[in-house]
Amino acid sequence: MDVTQWTWLLVGLSFALYLGIAIWSRAGSTKDFYVAGGGVPSIANGMATGADWMSAASFLGMAGLISSMGRDGSVYLMGWTGGYVLLALLLAPYLRRFGKFTVPDFIGDRYYSNAARVVAVICAIFVSFTYVAGQMRGVGIVFSRFLDVDINMGVIAGMAIVFFYAVLGGMKGITYTQVAQYCVLIFAFMVPAIFISLMLTNHPLPQTGLGATTGDGTYLLDKLDGLQEQLGFAAYTEGHKPMIDVFAIALTLMVGTAGLPHVIVRFYTVKKVSDARKSAFWALLFIAILYTAAPAVSVFARTNLLETIPGKSYAEVPSWFKKWEHAGLIAWLDKNGDGRVQYDGSGAPFAPAPGAPKLAPTFDEDGTAGPSGERLVTNAPTPSTNELYIDADIIVLANPEIAQLPNWVIGLVAAGGLAAALSTAAGLLLVISTSVAHDLVKRTINPSISEKKELLVARLAAGVAVCVAGYFGIKPPGFVAQVVAFAFGLAASSFFPAIILGIFWKRATREGAVAGMLCGLVFTALYICFFKFGLPGLGQGKVEQLWFGISPEGIGMIGMLVNFAVTIAISLATPAPPEAVKDLVERVRLPRAAFGEEDSGPVAH
């Protein structure tokens, strides 16, 4: 069978599995819909958390970033991995002890204020929609290339699938669907990685293949450095980012992880606090399998790419190049008219203007374009001699084709990419629907609403959220991993200080928390918008204007410090929280045995 047939078969089987699980585990109550009934086994919850956590950014984007940025791209690996450890140690057990359903629930009760709850709902929705845009875009990319449909149609197809099992099953359906999706995505990521590691280094494990020698006795990283330098690029293992920016991005990603509502809510789905700790261990183990392999995958792809494309005539490039070209994710512009693909370090490859589509291929009516048959792009090229554009999001998806692996492996990677994007999208959409139905309607607007009507509101909110997410998938504000990085910055600057201070500082007040979340969120959002997209009347910021050399991806660190400063200052200037709230903090933070209680059930009432 060819690639398309294998892809349809494997994607079809995986989708049938997801839909079957959703029907089997459909939610019958609000507790099922919000937290899967609170009885998910720790190992299953760990696997579901792994799938929820390893989004399209992890599966598609992270290896692509490392591949295109070299050592600088590893900051995403360090930040996301370290962030999960921070979440597991500092937040998960305490939030599980608190009980309830959501992060806004904790914020509202801990800060004894519906205003704080509403601000937390706004933050949750804002962060979740920013994050989900990258997931839906990832779905569109996979559909576009492997199933030969338009990217926008791929996004719509992904919307339909997520709508079905998120709206029908709620957290219960999503949890067990994510267990299946983890199995699909990790198998899809590791199989080609193992194949290529064996081909390049004769090591079956990509983690050890990264530091091994190739057939000619040269270390793989030394070989890649040599290929880069021959083409005029800096060595792959050489970094360019200022150390302050590396630190800022890593810290932003770490604390942003600890503030992501769709990850935190997973720890509400287990029976006991001890199960929350166990599921955190399992999740870290499952996540580590992919995260330790991603740097190797990026090096394998970059090495194969540089040995395959540069210097060849357009007629000689492999068939996969032209297939990805038709998907609009790779392009060549023959600037010097020699008919050969020039890829060098003389400058950045041509790129679209801010806010424009990445590539906008133009065609004659008969389908031809360019003197060598290349697909022309409408974007104006930079003065550099670089002729090749490669979208960072295709590195993992194109890797099996670049390495000439069997067609079934290529189809498997497509199914894995969809599993990664859909699993996280579903978790995010549930956070949005829960925030609206439970925190906004049930806890704030209409406390007397019946459970049946609340469940209906949750499903309607999920449906609307799917549609909005689809729009952002069709018109994304950046490539997958960048968009997700922005979400982490927003989470770092809004949720993380409020949660940390809420658990470990009894003096934190509602006035301080509300002001801190708003200041941190607004500051970070404005900085990102100014330097990435421009602000009305000001235009788009320039690199030399960056504060302390910190990029928009790392500004969440400053936003977090703003939040902490504002919260602490205003808390000290306002009346202390009620004694009941201080007692709640004590019960959340100290072991249950200190109060003669067992390790189950919430402490909040």
Pairwise CA distance, residues 182 & 176, whole Å: 10
5: confidence class by pLDDT, cuts 50, 70, 90: confident
Percent of the chain with pLDDT over 90: 9
Pairwise CA distance, residues 541 & 543, whole Å: 7
Dihedral angle of Cα 71, 73, 75, 76, to the nearest 10 degrees: -150
Helix (H, G, I), strand (E, B) or coil at 320: helix
In 147-271, where does DSSP find H-type helix? 151-201, 206-209, 220-230, 243-258, 261-264
Q: Secondary structure of 504-527 in the HEC alphabet?
A: HCCCCCHHHHHHHHHHHHHHHHHH
**Domains and their CATH numbers in the chain:** 3-304+406-595 (1.20.1730.10), 309-402 (no CATH)
Note the pLDDT of residue 27: 62
Question: Beta 361-362 vs 376-377: how paired, if at all?
Answer: antiparallel
pLDDT (mean) for 328-351: 71
Residue 568 has pLDDT above 90, yes or no: yes
Q: What is the DSSP string of 73-125?
A: GHHHHHHHHHHHHHIIIIIHHHHHHH-SS-HHHHHHHHTT-HHHHHHHHHHHH
Mean of the per-residue pLDDT values of the chain: 78
Q: For residue 96, give every residue at least 6 positions away whose Cβ sits within 8 Å of its Cβ, in sequence order, or none.
A: 267, 268, 270, 272, 273, 275, 276
Helix (H, G, I), strand (E, B) or coil at 241: coil
In 346-436, where does DSSP find H-type helix? 395-402, 407-434
Residue 178 has pLDDT above 60, yes or no: yes
Residue 169 has pLDDT above 80, yes or no: no
| Cα four-point dihedral sign 334, 336, 338, 340 | negative
Note the pLDDT of residue 513: 92
Q: Which amino acid is at 392?
A: A
Note the pLDDT of residue 571: 95
Note the pLDDT of residue 28: 61
Asked if 571 and 504 touch (Cβ cutoff 8 Å), the reply is no
Note the pLDDT of residue 566: 96
Note the pLDDT of residue 304: 84
Q: What is the DSSP string of 6-49?
A: HHHHHHHHHHHHHHHHHHHT---SHHHHHHGGG---HHHHHHHH
Q: pLDDT tens, 463-474?
A: 888 888 788 777
Note the pLDDT of residue 458: 81
Pairwise CA distance, residues 58 & 484, whole Å: 10
Note the pLDDT of residue 372: 60
pLDDT (mean) for 370-383: 53
Pairwise CA distance, residues 83 & 475, whole Å: 29
Q: What is the DSSP string of 431-449?
A: HHHHIIIIIIIIIII-TT-
Asked if 387 and 334 touch (Cβ cutoff 8 Å), the reply is yes
Asked if 124 and 435 touch (Cβ cutoff 8 Å), the reply is yes
What DSSP element (H or E) covers 265?
none
Residue 355 has pLDDT above 70, yes or no: no
- Identify the weakest region by mean pLDDT among 51-60, 182-191, 315-324, 370-379: 370-379
pLDDT (mean) for 149-168: 76
Asked if 496 and 560 touch (Cβ cutoff 8 Å), the reply is yes
- Number of Cβ within 10 Å of residue 309's Cβ equals 19
166: confidence class by pLDDT, cuts 50, 70, 90: low
Q: pLDDT tens, 68-98?
A: 777 787 888 888 788 878 877 777 778 777 7
More confident residue, 508 or 439: 508
Percent of the chain with pLDDT over 70: 80
pLDDT (mean) for 454-466: 82
What residues does 526 pair with on adjacent strands? Answer: none
Note the pLDDT of residue 352: 45
Asked if 375 and 363 touch (Cβ cutoff 8 Å), the reply is yes
Residue 605 has pLDDT above 50, yes or no: no
367: confidence class by pLDDT, cuts 50, 70, 90: very low
Q: Kindly report whether the global pTM for this prediction surpasses the value 0.85.
A: no
pLDDT (mean) for 308-316: 82
346: confidence class by pLDDT, cuts 50, 70, 90: low
Considering only CA atoms, which of 120, 59, 39, 107 is closest in space to residue 518? 120
Pairwise CA distance, residues 478 & 364, whole Å: 28
Residue 559 has pLDDT above 90, yes or no: yes
Pairwise CA distance, residues 523 & 516, whole Å: 11
Note the pLDDT of residue 532: 74
Q: pLDDT tens, 383-395?
A: 567 777 777 767 7
